[in-house]
Amino acid sequence: MEKKIAELVEQYFLIFLSLVALILSFYFIGVNFLIFIAFIPLFYYMNEKKIKGPQLFVYFLFFYGSTLFFINKISVEVKASYLTYIALILFLSTGAYLFFSVFKRGIFRFLQIDDLPLIFILSQLLFEMILENKTLGFPWITAFLPTGVYPAFASVASLFGAYFISLEVYLINYFIYKIIKNAIVMYLQRKVSIPTVVSRKKQILIYLIIIALIFAFNFLWYAFNPYDSKIEKTNISIAVGQPNIPLNFKYRYEFFDLAVSRIQKMTAFARMADCDLVVWPESAIPTYLETKPEILSMLSKLSKSNGIGIIVGTPDMEINNNKVSSFNSAYYFDKQGIYHIYHKIQLVPFGEFIPFADTLKFLRKIAPEAGIDQTFGTLGNPFVLNDKEDSTYYFYPTICFESIFTNIFVKMANNNPSFFVNIVNDSWYDSTFEHEQHLYHNVFRAIETKKMIFRSATTGISAIIDQKGQIIRKLDQGEENIITSKLSIYNGKTFYVKYGWIWIKAYRYFGCLVLLIAILSLLFPKFSTKKFIHKIFKISK
């Protein structure tokens, strides 16, 4: 028995080591740098032991299961929470495993590549991108996320987006693995010929240079990028409020007045600090605001009498032709007391809506409490904020889950807003690492667009993030306070917003072609890639 255990430990030690390092890098406990080496043991095991399908599936299962464990708190009903959690990690693990397996077949048929670590990189990068799908999208756990604590490294996201950072992270792991492998071969094979030694040393040198170039490119862009020299200071001052109303109080009738009065009182403090706008979190008013005319009137008078804009999260409802549409919304009261409404455009699957429920009726029976059939909003014009000299600034609000979707921010940034607002209710997740994971997605959105982000969370973490991705003000979980900052603006569009997304789109098409080739080769054993590509070009002509 002890011998079997020892054999198992020896056999799976590298996979376990990789898994632990990878998981810890997503916990935001000061060891995020592990993301740069976490895949190395896995890559070594892949090439030396020829990893089997079930082993890789279990690897993904433990990885997603550990980094997304907070999902089990999504509902007040324990059974529903764990069912949601299990369904999500099975979906992600199966997806990641299938992408690797099918990609492996397709890339070999297409480009004759059989390097498993390289195939892993190509497949997982595509999987991250595909998870931005509007219906089933959940791009939460991505290789770039742990690097958000290093704004200097993440800086090139303004050129090519956050997925380029993922690619760099994978490649750094890959080239370090190659260095270690070459060094091990040279050490173990003592009778290696001189030409072989020279060749291995040359490869090590090349890999070291590539790694150095990746870091140099990122850090030099951070130090000398031209966008920062064009950032202008303004007279606008913005406050971010954190009312700290716990979830178990929030929806209880007796605490409703407390939530409203706390917002009212702290808005007055923001005005005393000479702020032009105060941001309150998602569902700060935990009822349909349209059904509370007295609160609507109070907020309107509060903004008008104090000359301060107010953003507040609240559910909303519309009735058209006897059809009821429910929205997760942000109300913006401008300085004249007139309110404007933004409806969330990216809903949480199985949280705010049930995908394909109109076609697959049984899904509502399987998950009766998953989603309340909320309606997708549409991207409209940005909101307008005027300073004391009547200069005009534009901004978009985003609600919670939307901050993890780079494509949403690119669409908004194409209208060149001055800044972004992100309102969040993460109070569901208690004291888990979900709060940090969610926060650092905002860091990448700030870098990609070079726009400040003002983030208000019900119980934390609220933050103000500048164009470099630096968190310049922050309220930790459980704090009740407001933070303020002067607005600075980059009046323009980054390379990523203009053109940087093109490589992502092209890579998706490439990935789809590889997957198609893999599927065709499975269905038709005599399938020829060359003939297939020749036919495509012939048809296109």
pLDDT digits (tens, 9 = 90+) for 498-514: 998 899 999 999 988 88
For 321-426, strand residue ranges (E) read 323-333, 339-343, 383-386, 392-399, 419-424
pLDDT for 444 = 97
Reported as a single tens digit per residue, the pLDDT across 216-235 is 999 999 999 999 999 999 99
| CA pair distance 458, 286, nearest whole angstrom | 11
| CA pair distance 378, 472, nearest whole angstrom | 31
The answer to whether 225 and 483 have CB atoms below 8 angstroms apart is no
pLDDT for 9 = 56
Q: Which helix (H) or strand (E) holds 489?
A: strand 481-490
Q: What percent of the chain has pLDDT over 90?
A: 55
pLDDT for 354 = 78
The angle formed by the CA atoms of residues 6, 12 and 16, to the nearest 5 degrees, is 115
The angle formed by the CA atoms of residues 498, 223 and 412, to the nearest 5 degrees, is 25
The answer to whether 286 and 250 have CB atoms below 8 angstroms apart is yes
Reported as a single tens digit per residue, the pLDDT across 317-331 is 888 777 878 899 999
pLDDT for 129 = 93
Contacts of 189 (CB under 8 A, 6+ apart): 196
| CA pair distance 460, 444, nearest whole angstrom | 19
pLDDT for 225 = 92
pLDDT greater than 60 at residue 206 = yes
The answer to whether 348 and 88 have CB atoms below 8 angstroms apart is no
Which pairing describes strands 277-279 and 309-320: parallel, antiparallel, or unpaired?
parallel
pLDDT greater than 90 at residue 426 = no
Token pair 């650092």 in the structure block, residue: 440
| CA pair distance 281, 300, nearest whole angstrom | 17
Residue 101, exposed/middle/buried by CB under 10 A (0-12, 13-18, 19+)? middle
The answer to whether 161 and 409 have CB atoms below 8 angstroms apart is no
Least confident stretch, 43-47, 152-156, 181-185, 375-379: 181-185
Token pair 């949280």 in the structure block, residue: 351
pTM tops 0.95: no
Mean pLDDT of the residues in the chain: 87
Contacts of 458 (CB under 8 A, 6+ apart): 242, 243, 244, 245, 247, 250, 281, 282, 283, 284, 424, 425, 426, 427
> How many Cα atoms occupy the beta-carbon half-sphere of 151 within 13 Å?
17
pLDDT greater than 70 at residue 79 = no
| CA pair distance 236, 393, nearest whole angstrom | 9
pLDDT for 75 = 65
Quote the crossing angle between the two packed helices 434-449 and 162-188, to the nearest 10°.
Answer: 110
| CA pair distance 65, 70, nearest whole angstrom | 9
Distances (CA, A) of 265 to 62, 270, 463, 538: 46, 9, 20, 70
Dihedrals phi, psi of 528, to nearest 5 degrees? -115, 125
Which pairing describes strands 462-465 and 481-490: parallel, antiparallel, or unpaired?
unpaired
Reported as a single tens digit per residue, the pLDDT across 33-62 is 999 999 999 999 988 777 787 889 999 999
pLDDT greater than 90 at residue 485 = yes
The answer to whether 241 and 268 have CB atoms below 8 angstroms apart is no
Dihedrals phi, psi of 188, to nearest 5 degrees? -75, -35
Reported as a single tens digit per residue, the pLDDT across 347-386 is 888 777 877 766 766 666 655 555 567 889 998 899 999 9
End-to-end CA distance of the chain: 66
> How remote is the C-alpha of 47 from its chain's centroid?
31
pLDDT greater than 80 at residue 534 = no
